[in-house]
């Protein structure tokens, strides 16, 4: 199996009904909006997808539903965030059985593994599957840094092919590209460093606010890759207050409020998450309202890099 690791890949939210069941109707509305905008992959089961609250059966349903919706246009990638190596291997098996085309992998959850343990965890999971893998490097939120030396060890596994770089150290993109070239494709995983990362050579963008604003996100990426920096920057400057909603413990609630504003989502979250209240809700609502009022126009971006 192979994936073209580039472009914008949304880490999509999971939609719930008022009865706390999967809302597949609204989920399909959002996925179609992502496809219409020109995303290059769909990532399920990340933090934005509220994966830690989903049952295995719900994850299976989401994978199968997404595979049907995309109809082979883009790969469906499932995030693996497990506590044990056995659990990660099982999750990879389930993903492949349900039709996923790739994996995004976090280090072991809860236990703070050392470098050797973390590399072994990734290797054993990679060796158990043929699915292509993106390593998710986010020490700020998950406590384990995947260093360049660790990535070097992981290149022995042919199916470890990409890195989601979320250290917030933008120079890491240059370090990775200098050391690994195209052996490891690099995606930015921080919305507020999206354009900067692309200009530093990132191959793609695993995005969050794309869930509410897919066309704007894809336009920034395509314009930047085409060298039309001024046009990309104009959209990005408008977008930044909204993108900052992604770097918050309440990013799921924030982004779901934005999805409601653009008509491609609902605000329902799964407890213990709850919809925003009081002053914080008002603050986020004002950011979204201002963004919607000044929503930019942009050129037809879909063919400029063909």
Token pair 């020109």 in the structure block, residue: 38
> Residue 306: pLDDT above 90?
no
> Residue 167: pLDDT above 80?
yes
**How many whole angstroms separate alpha carbon 13 and alpha carbon 162?**
22
Return the bridge partners of 76, or none. Answer: 42
Q: In the chain, pLDDT over 70 holds for what percent of residues? A: 100
pLDDT category of residue 1 using cuts at 50, 70 and 90: low
pLDDT category of residue 161 using cuts at 50, 70 and 90: very high
| pLDDT confidence of residue 141 | 85
- pLDDT tens-digit map of 26-85: 999 999 999 999 999 999 999 999 999 999 999 999 999 999 999 999 999 999 999 999
Q: May I ask the CATH class of domain 7-293? A: alpha beta
At 9, give phi and psi (nearest 5°).
-120, 110
DSSP 179: H
| pLDDT confidence of residue 110 | 85
- Average confidence (pLDDT) over 173-192: 97
Return the bridge partners of 134, or none. Answer: 104, 162
| pLDDT confidence of residue 2 | 81
- Average confidence (pLDDT) over 189-199: 97
> Residue 132: pLDDT above 90?
yes
């Amino acid at each position: 199996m192979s994936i073209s690791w580039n472009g914008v890949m949304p880490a999509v939210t999971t939609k719930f009904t008022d009865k706390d069941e999967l809302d597949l109707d609204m989920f399909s509305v959002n996925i179609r909006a992502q496809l219409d905008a020109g995303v290059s992959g769909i990532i399920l089961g990340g933090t934005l997808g509220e994966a830690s609250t989903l049952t295995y059966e719900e994850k299976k349903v989401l994978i199968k539903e997404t595979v049907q919706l995309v109809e082979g246009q883009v790969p469906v990638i499932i995030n693996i965030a497990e506590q044990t190596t056995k659990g990660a291997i099982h999750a990879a098996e389930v993903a492949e059985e349900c039709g996923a085309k790739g994996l995004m992998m976090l280090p072991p959850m809860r236990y703070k593994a050392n470098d050797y343990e973390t590399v072994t965890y990734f290797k054993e999971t990679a060796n158990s599957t043929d699915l292509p893998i993106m390593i998710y490097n986010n020490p700020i939120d998950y406590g384990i840094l995947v260093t360049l030396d660790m990535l070097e060890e992981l290149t022995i596994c042919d199916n470890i092919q990409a890195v989601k770089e979320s250290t917030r150290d933008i120079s890491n993109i240059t370090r990775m590209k200098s050391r690994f070239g195209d052996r490891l494709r690099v995606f930015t995983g921080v919305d507020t460093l999206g354009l900067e990362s692309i200009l530093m050579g990132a191959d793609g963008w695993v995005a969050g606010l794309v869930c509410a604003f897919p066309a704007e996100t894809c336009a920034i990426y395509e314009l930047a890759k085409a060298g039309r920096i001024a046009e990309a920057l104009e959209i990005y400057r408008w977008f930044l207050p909204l993108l900052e909603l992604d770097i918050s413990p309440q990013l799921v609630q924030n982004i779901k409020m934005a999805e409601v504003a653009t008509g491609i989502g609902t605000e329902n979250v799964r407890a213990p998450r709850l919809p925003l209240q009081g002053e914080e809700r008002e603050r986020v609502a004002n950011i979204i309202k201002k963004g919607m009022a000044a929503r930019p126009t942009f050129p037809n971006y879909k063919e400029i890099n063909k």
